[in-house]
Chain A
Amino acid sequence: MSEVAVVGFAQAPNVRRTPGTTNGVEMLVPVFHRLLADTSLSKQDIGFWCSGSSDYLAGRAFSFIAAVDAIGAFPPIMESHVEMDAAWALYEAWVKIRTGEVETALVYGFGKSSAGELRRVMAMQMDPYLTTPLWPDTVGLAGLQARLGLDAGLWSQRDMAAVAAASRRAALSNADAQLSGETTVEELLRQPYIADPLRAHDCAPITDGAAAIILAAGDKARELSERPAWITGFEHRIDTPLIGARDLTTSPSTIAAAKAAGIDGVQVAELYAPFTHQEILLRQALGLGEEVRVNPSGGVLAGNPLFAAGLIRIGAAAAEIRAGRADKAMAHATSGPLLQQNLVCVLEGR
């Protein structure tokens, strides 16, 4: 089967609120232009298009159809959509290339999280029979998970604040980040709780954004990029949606996906951890040692455009490979409540 590599990545700035539409066209058009220019490809050269987004963020049905305008979809194209983070769209595109059906694919994700009341909108991803009717909010749920780890001694509030401070510091070198800056753990620990035991800095900010990646097969990838980021492992797994029946202090599906994808020896990890304790949880679950650079982009605590943020983790990990800063990297994406569904993508440079 074909080898597949990331040969291009571009993203819109992560911002608290765009004035644009929920169909993402205004954010996506410049991203596509930059991405195609960087790879010297035209839209006619793209064999398959795949996107990730959500009607619940937009508040209307089939909102992704309007985003297809940004592609310039005439004459007709081969196109697909997942109602998940675009990291899963990238999985679909990877399969499409692996099976030899196409040689190139462009994957994009977008979300205008600011359009609705995000903490309520996200209740729609819960079990609709017994959980959504209570309207549990994402921050309150994350607080349940954070306290389990605090009580078990797996992390402290100081450890959590240290993750936030490190994220903002790393994001100083990321021009697209929403939150960045120098701060101290002491300063962060003086802040009030928004949902005890979580403070504002423990939670990823509400972010509007979009991103896109171009994948290519074998020789085509070598032609398009001096140092393609080859995808050498790609897996996703799911845990039960019943949060009360899971051990919330770990992530069995992440561990299983990472094992299957083969993360031994990674030098960089881009983890989709929208809460500080989840970054610690994932590092522990994956056994990532001190030698692994985690979230050099600042991660999603520096900007969390839903439905694009997982794709951005893959783009950021690939950027580390393509720039020669690492030979092996992993990207992680999550979906569903409290790390329910997890995807791991391993990338290598040669």
Chain B
Amino acid sequence: MVTISSEPLSAPLNVGFDYTRSLGPVLGRFATGLREHKIAGVRGSDGRILVPPTEYDPVTAEKLTEFVDVATEGVVQTWSWIPQPLAGQPLQHPFAWALIKLDGADTGLLHAVDAGSPDRMSTGMRVRVRWAAEPIGSIRDIECFEPLDNEPTEREPGAGDPVTMVTTPIHLTYQHAASPEESRYLRGLAEGKLLGQRCPACEKVYIPPRGSCPTDGVPTEDEIELPDHGVVTTFCVVNVPFLGQRIKPPYVAAYILLEGADIAFLHLVLGCEASEVRMGMRVRAAWRPRDQWGTTLENIDHFEPTGEPDAPYESYSQHL
């Protein structure tokens, strides 16, 4: 057996999604106000003015409806210094997080303070809002807060219909790792090999191999090279177009059970009319040109019919 690196394969995984949410009457009013350079609070059941406003009282859970505008200046209740800001934070140079009690409010608003240095920060210091250049009706319409002795930055308020939605882009980065078994399988694919592994307890052959046999809870171990042909156990005809689709519908996504394997995997069946694909149909891999191979099952472009007689139902019925 060829010994290849035992380090699991890993690769960057970037996840991104723009979350769009409806704001409702309370947060909608707050967001609309921010765009106009106004800050709305709401009176709590204990008489406190809550900023940002909440739909329900944090103590009694009573519904709150009485809005009160508060000042755009206030006092730092507490702060922490961020020497190396993270992506997406309000400022990309060192700044302070702070809870800021605006004049007229009784609770602290979380935001950034642009003070330049921790020496210029203190509990009880007064700060004012620095508005964003282009207000849209979001908490980011407050660019940050700044000490009162900073020269004020003049910015124009916005206007328009009441704000009802907020869109928050979320982008997170990960280093995604494959398991040791998956890594052997993926490295095998780069050499044009389909590697499965056998569970030492039940002797079932899994492709891709598993970190743990679902029946026995032990890692699969013995390596098995499987042929690139097998049968369609079940399938569906895709008629629906969707974002990112690479093939024009209709086409067939099918479970392919390679000869000698005990578990089927999902792939495409092309090379015939979608309506001709059937359970038990024998198929063979159509590999991409060798110079396009990588550590991916995409090395196999699709499976196509071999033209041989169909496999009898009994030969794959226990793998459905």
Contact = CB atoms under 8 A, between A and B. Distances in A.
B19 interface: yes
Nearest to A130: B139
B23 to A, nearest CB: 7
Interface residues of A, number: 65
Given A144-B80, A242-B54, A135 B89 contact: yes
Contact of B80 (A43, A140, A240): A140
B82 A72 contact: no
Interface string A209-245: 0000000000000000000000000000000101111
Interface in A72-95: 72-75
Q: Indicate the member of A29, A114, A140 with the most B CB atoms within 10 Å.
A: A140
B173 interface: yes
B123 A70 contact: no
Contacts of A136: 89, 97, 110
A131 B19 CA distance: 14
A121 interface: yes
B1 interface: no
A29 B82 contact: no
Interface stretch (B164-172, B233-241, B289-297, B298-306): B164-172
A70 B217 contact: yes
Contacts of B133: none
B287 interface: no
A32 interface: yes
B109 A244 contact: yes
B174 A245 contact: no
Interface in A16-38: 19-23, 25-26, 29, 32
Given A25-B179, A197-B80, A245-B50, A115 B174 contact: yes
A124 B172 CA distance: 10
Contact of A141 (B15, B83, B90, B97): B97
Contacts of B97: 136, 140-141, 143-144
Contacts of A148: 77-78
Given A135-B89, A148-B78, A196-B118, A20 B179 contact: yes
A45 interface: no
Interface stretch (B65-73, B205-213, B242-250, B270-278): B205-213
A76 B167 CA distance: 41
Contacts of A145: 78
B86 A120 contact: yes
Interface string B157-200: 00000000010101011111111101000000000000000000
B80 A59 contact: no
Nearest to A131: B110
B166 A129 contact: yes
Contacts, number: 186
Contact of B179 (A21, A245, A248): A21
Contacts of B10: 19
Given A134-B90, A147-B80, A129 B21 contact: yes
Given A29-B217, A148-B77, A245-B50, A240 B58 contact: yes
A117 B13 CA distance: 12
A116 B108 CA distance: 30
A137 interface: yes
A133 B141 CA distance: 11
A22 B211 CA distance: 12
A333 B167 CA distance: 33
B112 interface: yes
Interface in B215-270: 215-219
Interface string A92-117: 00000000000000000000001111
Interface string B11-51: 00101000101010001001000000000000000001011
Contacts of B118: 196
Contact of A243 (B15, B50, B110): B110
B168 A19 contact: no
A136 B211 CA distance: 36
A132 interface: yes
A264 interface: no
19 contacts: A69-B214, A72-B212, A116-B175, A120-B87, A120-B88, A133-B168, A136-B110, A139-B80, A140-B97, A143-B79, A144-B78, A147-B78, A147-B80, A193-B83, A194-B83, A195-B80, A198-B80, A243-B110, A245-B54
Interface of B: 7-8, 10, 13, 15, 19, 21, 23, 27, 30, 48, 50-52, 54, 58-59, 77-83, 86-90, 97-99, 107-112, 118, 123, 138-140, 166, 168, 170, 172-180, 182, 210-219
